[in-house]
Structure 1
């Protein structure tokens, strides 16, 4: 079952760019399943959590702001909130330790939290902030939860990438902008490429045990991720109409939160993807492989699906965040 191979090319999905979370989950039941969704108390993550919980899953939402998370989710009986700061390795290990102590399999891990176009900063290890939070935090979290994913025997890990990956590959010679000038969009693009490559590397390591991995472009959804952008930068994306209202045009990648959550949920639950993985998806389908030089259009750039680059990233990630699967992480 786990040896099926799909190329990086669209398949006959019944869903499309305008499909919503409700569309994707209409015939899905997850009773008895456990899911973890980072960033699950706002924006797209909140849509995902509600959809999974209403399909019967028990959902854990790790949150840096516990009060805000509890307020957002207090009407969801199948959801629990726990403390986690993806920028703090000790917090990651503590959260994972509490999860593992419950001795239950983890069937779905959706790595949805992230930052975008932040001012320049480095974490205490000296790693550029967007790469540290968007990629390394989730790398360490997935590693720490690995025993629970293996215990499920049929698990999926979905990492939130972005069409922003087209802005930049991972610069392995200067990932933290020590020698090159900092560019917030190049840094964001690098981190989103890392999210996609992580799915490639993780899927290679997990598929024999039934753990499959995907990366996702959710679409362009104006939400908390844009908090570091100026009004002029937001206007440049064309998300507002002449009256200041939000434009919904999924054919142009401008989506509602419910539409933006759909592809990650499709990757997490679709029977069409049983036994496959390591793929970058968008619009509730496997994305096409884009040509070099294409930017801002559909498709995934080759540098974000390259297994050689995925292994190079894996080695760097273990160097910076700890050896994958080691207990305890160091």
Structure 2
């Protein structure tokens, strides 16, 4: 499910909240995989199989003629998968390095530099230029054209994250975040449940998972000093779990799914919206289970 991807780095929103919470990105990725894989299985194929008989689809995109591409012109599966996973491999590798006695060695500065999220993404981008571009016969002008086409969606993401970060700053500087944190703390609930609940309500209200994650982080941040033993990586996962819930008519992704599969609004609510809710509940349950052993 696409929403589950937003929970984990290197998705920009996940990286932003991990940075805000001072969570280790490698740990967020490792723990996130444990939480997201079961959520994807239950909310994906299992839920879809139970619901498929009651949903009518009109997959017009699949009935249109498609020009086949020879297998020889496509990149190999292995190099494609490695290219996609490379930033995660680098960041997780740094986390594993930090767990060994080598973290105090002379190589620590080099590993920390390479494992930095920005450096890891930069290395991965250049590797992708080679593995999926130059190695397949594309020239520099073609790669430049592909890069320019990526700027439009990236610009939208940066604007949303910037707006969410600005809203967080308003909450914190105005004191509203502290007051909301005090109210939430008085509920005597687990901070992970609070983070999940706030993010879920924000997603329901504004539609954007990115805005929900950024805003929820700003609201729960003042509560966290009361729980010094709580791993920030778990809080990041709890926020992400809540932010993938309740994708409905205020979410642009909801309409993409509806139109692409040719289903009615009611069927989209029964399928996609409920699937995001199922994934969210499974993910927070896995996060709570992880909190008992970490």
TM-score computed with the length of structure 2 as normaliser: 0.28
- Higher strand proportion: 1
TM-score by length of 1: 0.26
Which protein has the larger Cα radius of gyration, Structure 1 or Structure 2? 2
Q: Give the helix-richer structure, 1 or 2.
A: 2
